[in-house]
Chain A
Amino acid sequence: MKNLDRHTIIYWVGFCVVMALLIVAPLVLPVFWAKFLTEVLIWGLLAMSSDLLIGYTGMVSFGHSAFFGLGMYGAAAALLIVHPGNVWLAILFGFAGAAGAALFVAYFSTRLRDIYFAITTLIFSQIFYVIIFTWTSVTGGENGLIFTRPHLTFAWFYDARFNLTTLHWFVLAIVAGSYLFLRRVTQSPFGKVLQSIRENEFRTRAIGYPVERYKIVSVLLSGLFAGLAGVLYAVQNEFAAPDFVYFITSGDTVIFNVMGGIGTLVGPIVGAGFFQLLRELMSRIFGDQFPYLIPLGFIFIAMIIFLPQGLLGFARRWLNR
Chain B
Amino acid sequence: MLAVISAIPFDLLLIQTVNGIVTGMILALVASGLTLIFGIMDVVNFAHGELFMLGAYVGVIVMVATGNFWLALIISFLVIALLGAVIQIVTLRPLIGRDPLNTILVTFGFSLILQNFALWYFGPVARRMPAPILSHFTLFYLDYPWYRLVIAGLSAAIIGGFWLFLKYSKFGVWIRATTQDRVMAQAMGIPVPWVLTGVFALGAGMAAASGVLFAPLVGVDHSMGLDWVLKAFIVVVVGGMGSLGGSVVAAIFISLLESYASIWVNPSQAVIVSFVVLILTLLFKPTGLFATPK
Which chain A residues have a beta carbon within 8 Å of chain B's beta carbons? 60, 108-109, 111-112, 114-116, 118-120, 122-124, 126-127, 130-131, 133-134, 247, 251, 254, 258, 291, 293-294, 296-298, 300-301, 304-305, 308
Nearest-Cβ distance from residue B40 to partner chain A, whole angstroms: 14
Question: Which residues of B are at the interface with A, using a C-beta cutoff of 8 A?
Answer: 38, 44, 91, 94-95, 98, 100-102, 104-106, 108-110, 112-113, 116-117, 119-120, 226, 230, 233-234, 237, 241, 266, 268-269, 271-272, 275, 278-279, 282-283, 286
Give the 4 A-B residue pairs with the shortest CB-CB distance, closest first. Answer: A297-B113, A291-B120, A301-B109, A293-B116
Are B269 and A123 closer than 8 Å at their CB atoms? Answer: no
When distances are taken between beta carbons in the complex, the residues of chain B under 8 Å from A122 are: 230, 233
Instruction: Report which of B105, B266, B278 forms a contact with A254, defined as CB distance below 8 A.
Output: B105
Decide if the interface of chain A is mainly helix, strand, loop or mixed: helix
Chain A neighbourhood of B271, CB < 8 A: 130
A-B contact count (CB 8 A): 99
With CB as the reference atom, state the residue of chain A lying closest to B283: A108
**Chain A contacts for B279, CB-based, 8 A:** 108
Given contact pairs A115-B104, A126-B275, a sample of 12 additional A-B residue pairs in the complex whose CB atoms are under 8 Å apart: A108-B279, A115-B101, A115-B241, A118-B104, A120-B282, A123-B233, A123-B275, A291-B119, A294-B117, A301-B109, A304-B106, A304-B109
Bound-state Cα–Cα, A258 to B117, Å:
22
In the complex, what's the smallest C-beta–C-beta distance from B181 to chain A, in angstroms?
21
Minimum distance in angstroms from B155 CB to a CB of chain A = 23
Enumerate chain A residues within 8 angstroms of B112, measured Cβ to Cβ.
Answer: 251, 293-294, 296-297, 300
The distance in angstroms between the C-alpha atoms of A134 and B268, with both chains bound, is 8
Which residues does chain B contribute within 8 Å of A298, judged by CB atoms? Answer: 109, 113
A216 → B minimal CB distance (Å): 14
Assembly CA distance A115 to B279 (angstroms): 16
Are B286 and A304 in contact, CB atoms less than 8 angstroms apart?
no
Cα A255 to Cα B275 with chains together (Å) = 26
A294, B117: Cα distance in complex, Å: 7
Q: Which residue of A lies closest to B44 (CB)?
A: A115
Contact status B109-A120, CB under 8 Å: no
Contacts of B241 in A (CB 8 A): 115-116
Q: B residues within 8 A CB of A134?
A: 266, 268-269
Measured between beta carbons, the chain B residues less than 8 angstroms from A115 are 38, 44, 100-101, 104, 241
Q: Quick check: B282 and A126 within 8 Å, CB to CB?
A: no
Cβ–Cβ contact B102 & A308, under 8 A: yes
Q: State whether A123 touches B268 (Cβ < 8 A).
A: no
Q: Is the CB–CB distance between B269 and A301 below 8 Å?
A: no
Are A258 and B113 in contact, with the CB atoms below 8 A?
A: no
Taking the closest CB of chain B, its distance from the CB of A299, in whole angstroms, is 9
Q: Which residues of the other chain, A, contact B272 by a CB distance below 8 angstroms?
A: 127, 130-131
Contacts A108-B279, A108-B282 given: A300-B109 contact, CB under 8 Å? yes
CB neighbours of B116 from chain A (8 A): 291, 293-294, 297
Given contacts A112-B286, A297-B110, contact A133 B268 (CB under 8 A): yes
* Inter-chain contact B44/A119, CB cutoff 8 Å: yes
Kindly report which residue of chain A lies nearest to residue B271, judged by CB atoms.
A130
> Shortest beta-carbon distance, A292 to chain B, in Å?
8
Bound: A60/B120 CA distance, A: 30
- Residues in A neighbouring B44, C-beta threshold 8 A: 115, 118-119
A109 to chain B: which residues have CB within 8 Å?
Answer: 282
Among candidates A124, A127, A301, residue contacting B106 with C-beta atoms closer than 8 Å: A301
CB pair B94 A305 closer than 8 Å:
yes
The distance in angstroms between the C-alpha atoms of A112 and B279, with both chains bound, is 12
The CA-CA distance from A297 to B112 in the complex, in Å, is: 6
Is the beta-carbon distance between B105 and A304 smaller than 8 angstroms?
Answer: yes
In the bound complex, residues from chain A placing their C-beta under 8 Å from that of B101 are: 60, 114-115, 118
20 sample A-B contacts, Cβ–Cβ < 8 Å, listed by A number: A60-B105, A108-B282, A109-B282, A111-B282, A111-B286, A116-B241, A118-B101, A119-B233, A124-B275, A127-B272, A127-B275, A130-B271, A133-B268, A254-B105, A294-B113, A297-B112, A297-B116, A298-B109, A300-B105, A304-B102
Find out whether the CB atom of A305 lies under 8 angstroms from the CB atom of B282: no
The CA-CA distance from A127 to B282 in the complex, in Å, is 15
- A308: chain B residues within 8 A (beta carbon): 98, 102
B residues within 8 A CB of A114?
A: 100-101
State in angstroms the CA–CA spacing of A232 and B44 once bound together: 34
Pick from A112, A118, A293, A304: contact of B113, CB under 8 Å: A293
Write the chain B residue with the least CB distance to A112: B286
**In whole angstroms, how far apart are the Cα atoms of A120 and B286 in the complex?**
11
Residues of A close to B275: CB separation below 8 A: 123-124, 126-127, 130
Bound form: Cα–Cα A134–B106 in Å: 32
Name the CB-closest residue of B to A111. B286
Chain A residues contacting B109 (CB-CB under 8 Å) are 297-298, 300-301, 304
B43 CB to closest chain A CB (Å) equals: 9
Question: Is the CB–CB distance between A116 and B269 below 8 Å?
Answer: no
Chain B residues with CB under 8 Å of A119's CB are 44, 233, 237
Inter-chain contacts of B278 with A (CB < 8 A): 120, 123
Residues of B within 8 A of A60 (CB): 101, 104-105
Report Cα–Cα, A161/B225, bound state, in Å.
44
Report the bound CA distance from A127 to B102 in whole Å: 25
Tell me which residues across on chain B come within 8 A of A108, comparing CB atoms: 279, 282-283
Cα A304 to Cα B241 in complex, Å, equals 25
Taking CB as reference atom, which chain A residue is nearest B241? A116
CA distance A123 to B231 in the complex (A): 9
Q: Are A301 and B91 in contact (CB under 8 A)?
A: yes
Smallest CB–CB gap between B294 and chain A, Å?
A: 13
